[in-house]
Structure 1
Amino acid sequence: MIQQKRVLATDIPGPRSQELSARKAGAVASGVSAGLPVYVEEAVDGILRDVDGNQLIDFGSGIAVTTVGNGNRRVVEAVTKQIADFTHTCFMVTPYEEYVAVCEKLNEHTPGDHEKRSALFNSGAEAVENAVKIARLATGRDAVVAFDHAYHGRTNLTMGLTAKTMPYKQGFGPFASEIYRVPMAYPYRWPTGPEKCAEEALATLKSQIHVQVGEENCAAVVLEPIQGEGGFIVPPDGFLAGLADWCREHGILFIADEVQSGFCRTGDWFASDHEGVVPDIVTTAKGIAGGMPLSGVTGRADLMDAVHGGGLGGTYGGNPVACAAALASIETMEEDDLVGRAREIETLLRGRLEKLAQKYPQIGDIRGRGAMMAIELVEDRETKVPASALAAAVNKGCHERGLVTLTCGSYGNVFRFLPPLTIGDDLLAEGMDILEESFAAATA
């Protein structure tokens, strides 16, 4: 068992990691890059141990995937048992109980108490793609609306929904048609200030869709309730609810992409729960299965059942091993109150970040919920010019000191925090100490 403490046995990356990076260069396509080229050999809860014996504090969770902790005991036991039983039959050929049980849990925990159905897939992008398929078939309409700063995946359709060109879309077009983009309710950068953001963003959305699309042609609006790769942008209170009401008025389906924000990450089971918003369709992945590849689409029964038999599926979708991992992960969330733990983590992180912001004026905004927190770095608070180079420098400093961190944002200037919900307070505090040291070094 790995001790839950940071260990720096070598420089980061160490010699064995450097050797493996050389092998990667000769074997792996260069388009598959690594933000921190240390090669992990074991991980437990909030610690990653690399091949050189370094133990790094994990503030990334594999991009919000290992929510229940690295090497979670329940997940390991469930996966081990399932592998011994069978690894695959394809649910569309000969089904199995684990798939059904995961769908029952998704129907139970996603927002709303209406009758629901679910279908399982492999990745977040695949879930979003299928949600759009379902919406188009159920409504008989073609147009889909997405937002500035959105990230929905790397397939052709989801690249079209994604807003950022580099590195996700550059050179990969043309993209799917009948996709329209509207401004995101981004309080920190809303031109007239955060107080008017919700009202004006809704008005702009309604006007643009009316003029450019036509409500009667719009199948769905796809939105991350807290945007992920675009910068952990939290829309102001009232925006999601207003959007959902407007969609309902015009027969437009509201698809909540909860791939990064779901499964206790934000201090609720799903980010939509914060305002009591009930989407028509919810897409899930990442934190669903403790590191195993699995995703889901959950929606109103009438919408999901509108699709003809055979219209949804995939060879590996709802793989039994991944389903076993998901059931163990969800059990951990329920039994260990990871919703409550996410809120505790927010209290600790927010307190430290507010103190840091008092010292460094380059921290323009602190935002997020639960264990999905971020700071936006700027050259100065008056102009709000993105400080992308500073974000990169602080990130590099954290890596060198043994803290796994991630940046994001349309301008590359947002520093995000996604620790496992099982991480101890001592590691959280030490990680924030490292962040402060890295800030001091980068701004010296």
Structure 2
Amino acid sequence: MEPEVVDAELRRHLVRHGLLEAAQPTCWKIENSKLSGRGVIASRDIAVDELVYADAAVVQGPRCYSKYLPLCVSCYKTGCVLFPCDRGCGLPVCSEVCQNDPHHVEAECAYLKGLEPTCGSGWSLELLQAVVPIRALMLPKELTRVFYSLQCHEAAQHGREVDMLKSNVKGHIDADDEELMRRVCRAMDTNSFETAVIRGGKSTSLRALFPVGALTNHQCVPNTRHIVNAEGELLVYAAVPIAEGQEITMSYTDVLWDTQMRRHFLLATKHFACQCPRCTDISSIRAGIIAATEEFKYENPRKVLRFVEKELSLLVPETNYVMMEMMFSIVSLFGRAEGCTWSELTDEELDIKIVYCKKLIQCLDTLNCGNCTKKGLILYELYCANAEKVKRISSKESNVCTLLKNEIDSSANENVLLEAMKILKSDIVAPHDYREIYNEKLLLAQ
């Protein structure tokens, strides 16, 4: 498909989902990419933190890995009693409401029932993992064409969902249906995004394909960040100013990983050798340690801290990616993990969290990551740690405590929160307490 045709199809898709008005100008367009295949190109200058595009998933569903808990095929609830759908589709549901949901009944349920699942009166985990390509069969033809405009993995292991489907039904699958489903599986393996459903503070991991997002090429230092909101929409914002004609990019890896780790991950999962400026920077390649001799798993965040302070700091520089990853783990867990809640942290541990937050932010700025999502998460942890420190100081009465309290300017800390909110916005993967503060601020602003 020519870029102009793909561009037109994507705009119609966004209009159908109410994310774009018909004939509405955008700051992006689909063109041939200098990086790979087609790409999303800036059609005008884009300011930092400006919304570049909002995208809707063409298909969403369970991840195809047994390590994820079984879930209700309709509402995606986990950790509950699941029973087989009475209609005989071989899929698990959690309630009669979910069993009778038209989105389920008229799509994968009807299709699988016609193929006669072999699981009898039970339900099949393999059929559950094959739901995404089945749902793609129900899409309008113009949307199925989008899958043929995307880069795909052609190796034999991509498309195993179809193999699982065939081994769990008695009926014959139409050849055209099988060809489309395999194409969808390959496109999903290459281009899908992790999404989530939040219920009762618990997150269920899903996968979805956002067509504009799928055409946004990778750079290890991207010029955008992305979030998925509560409505399941992909929102992509400029992390740095983007000039007209420049390609809009996002990262498929963690920005704190070193060059060897990023390139290995991209080659293994996306099947390409990254040649971006960061990956071809000799100083970056030499900065990382070659390999870890043993994988350490820590049950207690305090063990991580002891390892960082007493061992790792003697082995690698402070800016090494292993050190950065460990620091980020400590920042993420201190104040939140069992046994390390805010009230259980010592004053020294609280100060270490604040120092680590500042070092990580400085590292991201050095890498020119702009207002990336990871920076937003760290800024929010810094805000929380500062607030906890002020709370502790306020409970004590002395001149020394007054001086310490003055070190943390309340208005400056509020600015830290506002900066975090500007980056994270309504991201559903942000901490639960952040989302409460964000929603409260939105109500006050109305």
TM-score (norm 1): 0.29
TM-score (norm 2): 0.28
Structure showing greater relative contact order (alpha-carbon pairs closer than 8 Å, 6 or more residues apart): 1
Structure showing the higher helix proportion among its residues = 2
Higher-Rg structure is 2
